[in-house]
């Protein structure tokens, strides 16, 4: 069974909702989605291998920031800006 937690903002329906979700077999990522006016915008994900993507749904390193892997930190702590 998938797990979804929604934190609701104040004001109109479906405005400012933060959704934290994952799948049901332990291999799916944990995703952090901001929903506003019915539009889902993924902001961050944590993959089962521990890689974290902020603004990147396919992180290539321990920490990846920006779509297209603009900034990365590997498991040794080395920084790799593009």
Report residue 70's pLDDT band, with 50, 70 and 90 as the boundaries.
confident
pTM here?
0.78
Phi, psi angles (nearest 5°) of residue 33: -120, 130
Q: Say what the pLDDT of residue 78 is.
A: 87
Q: Say what the pLDDT of residue 69 is.
A: 77
Q: Determine what percent of the chain is predicted with pLDDT higher than 70.
A: 90
CA–CA separation, 62 and 38 (whole Å)? 31
| 23 has pLDDT over 80 | yes
């Amino acid at each position: 069974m998938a797990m979804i937690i929604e934190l609701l903002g104040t004001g109109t329906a479906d405005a400012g909702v933060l959704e934290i979700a994952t799948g049901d077999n332990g291999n799916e990522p944990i995703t952090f989605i901001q929903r506003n006016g019915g539009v889902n915008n993924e902001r961050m994900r944590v993959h089962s291998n521990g890689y974290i993507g902020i603004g990147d749904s396919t992180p290539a390193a321990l920490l990846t920031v920006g779509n297209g892997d603009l900034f990365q930190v590997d498991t040794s702590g080395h920084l790799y800006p593009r």
